[in-house]
């Protein structure tokens, strides 16, 4: 990804230097295990660790690969330049390239997942803080973009918290599923390498041995990992779209923080645009772009082909770097977001009392009016509010049929705002616990 949408810690996970360091550790740990088993001389295994502090020369490896046309062989050749040709002769004994490539890729994905979980925790903390802050801040709920019934801003933040918390649980599961390694040799039969080598290498790298690999680790694991990233990205967009709608001039119930010196438009100095959340919507699309290719990577020929390889070289860093950036950006947006309670009340009262229509409808049916008649009685008054901006309660009090069924006190009682917020505490306990 381009630096504009990247954070250094995640970029470092995917750097060539990190990759070659992981490749080296895989090979060195494998040599240790083979020496323990008596397969190779102990002194050769120990010699490999002479390179433990080496900064592998990426340019030199690329130079060798230009000749060999094989990245793993190029690295092994470069490693031998540091260790010594004779000392390094048992490196990669009984292994195949995918043992190194796949195990490394999964190490990188688990490290990426750990950084993503940190980002999710930061976002969850921001959402919880704002939910508690605005637990009782009343705003109108909308369905189809149209005023529906009262809710609270706290409930809006709380539902986003619950959604992100589910996403976090999915990511924990995806991390566990992807945290496998394979040192099983050609076509995965361990014909030329002992399974105990795989067990040792995986233990050293924080992975579990893949129960059965072919020449590659099964790609359904990766498909689930990237699908999880795609769902989290969609949840980010869900929050971003809500904030974008709240910031519209006609609504203005919330807005991104506008910093000192910030400019909204090159042409119109008055503009305060929701550029951060618009950007998040775009970044979510980029993350989701990785999901279908990851799923298409599951089907490989026989014990393997490399149709997945070029895909993963792109989607591995792109999806994780982008999602990492998006999580931290959204956490900042939520944390600094401006909330306008007065505008929320003003918007709700734009059509005075209209949001209480369902309560009146239910009261009429409970008073013995058929649902069809009750609906008609309420709607004929509600439409006058829409069309003429009249007060819904006053219209109901002037409607003889409504008053005959409910009485004036019965009508007035249906406009108590507390009726709609009486279970907010219950919902909060469900989301955040006691």
pLDDT in tens, 87-131: 999 999 999 999 999 999 999 999 999 999 999 999 999 999 999
Confidence band of 383 (pLDDT split at 50, 70, 90) = very high
pLDDT at 272 over 90: no
Provide the pLDDT confidence category of residue 262 given band limits of 50, 70 and 90: confident
What is the overall mean pLDDT for the chain? 96
Is 147 in the active site? no
pLDDT band with cut points at 50, 70 and 90 for residue 434:
confident
Catalytic residue, candidates 85, 144, 270, 302? 144
Catalytic residue among 265, 307, 370, 376: 265
Least confident of 19-33, 267-281, 318-332: 267-281
Reported for 295-302, long-range contacts at CB under 8 A and 24+ positions apart, including other chains, are 295/223, 295/226, 295/227, 297/219, 297/222, 297/223, 298/218, 298/219, 298/220, 298/223, 300/214, 300/216, 300/219, 302/214
Residue 92 gets the label, from left (phi > 0), alpha (psi -120 to 50) or beta, of left
Catalytic status, residue 144: yes
Residue 152 in 3-state DSSP?
A: strand
Please give the share of the chain, as a percent, with pLDDT higher than 70.
100
């Amino acid at each position: 990804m381009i630096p504009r949408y990247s954070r250094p810690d995640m970029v470092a996970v995917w750097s060539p230097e990190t990759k070659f360091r992981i490749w080296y550790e895989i090979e060195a740990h494998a040599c240790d295990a083979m020496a323990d088993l008596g397969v190779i001389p102990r002194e050769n295994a120990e010699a490999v660790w002479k390179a433990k502090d080496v900064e592998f020369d990426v340019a030199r490896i690329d130079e060798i690969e230009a000749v060999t046309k094989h990245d793993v062989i190029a690295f092994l050749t470069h490693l031998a330049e540091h260790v010594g040709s004779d000392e390094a002769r048992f490196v990669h004994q009984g292994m195949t390239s995918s043992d190194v490539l796949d195990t490394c890729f999964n190490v990188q994905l688990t490290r990426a997942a750990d950084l993503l979980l940190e980002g999710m925790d930061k976002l969850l903390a921001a959402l919880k803080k704002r939910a508690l802050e605005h637990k009782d801040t009343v705003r109108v709920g909308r369905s189809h973009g149209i005023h529906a019934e009262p809710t609270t801003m706290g409930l809006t933040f709380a539902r986003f918290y619950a959604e992100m918390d589910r996403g976090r649980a999915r990511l924990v599961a995806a991390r566990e599923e992807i945290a496998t390694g394979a040192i099983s040799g050609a076509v995965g039969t361990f014909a030329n390498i002992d399974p105990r080598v795989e067990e040792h290498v995986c233990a050293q790298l924080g992975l579990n041995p893949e129960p059965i690999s072919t020449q590659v680790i099964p790609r359904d694991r990766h498909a689930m990992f990237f699908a999880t990233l795609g769902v989290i990205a969609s949840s980010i967009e869900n929050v971003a779209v809500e904030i974008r709608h709240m910031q519209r001039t006609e609504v203005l119930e919330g807005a991104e923080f506008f910093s000192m010196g910030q400019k909204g438009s090159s042409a119109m100095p008055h503009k305060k645009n929701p550029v951060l959340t618009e950007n998040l919507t775009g970044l979510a699309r980029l993350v989701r772009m990785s999901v279908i290719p990851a799923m298409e990577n599951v089907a490989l020929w026989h014990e393997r082909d490399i149709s997945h390889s070029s895909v993963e070289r792109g989607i591995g860093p792109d999806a994780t770097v982008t999602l990492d950036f998006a999580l931290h950006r959204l956490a900042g947006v939520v944390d600094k977001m401006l909330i306008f309670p007065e505008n929320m009340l003003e918007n709700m009262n734009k059509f005075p009392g209209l949001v209480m229509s369902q309560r009146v409808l239910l009261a009429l049916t409970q008073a013995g009016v058929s649902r069809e008649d009750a609906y008609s009685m309420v709607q004929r008054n509600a439409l006058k509010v829409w069309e003429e901006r009249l007060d819904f309660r006053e219209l109901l009090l002037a409607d003889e049929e409504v008053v005959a069924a409910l009485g004036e006190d019965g009508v007035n009682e249906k406009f108590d705002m507390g009726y709609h917020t009486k279970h907010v505490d219950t919902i909060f306990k469900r989301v955040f616990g006691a």
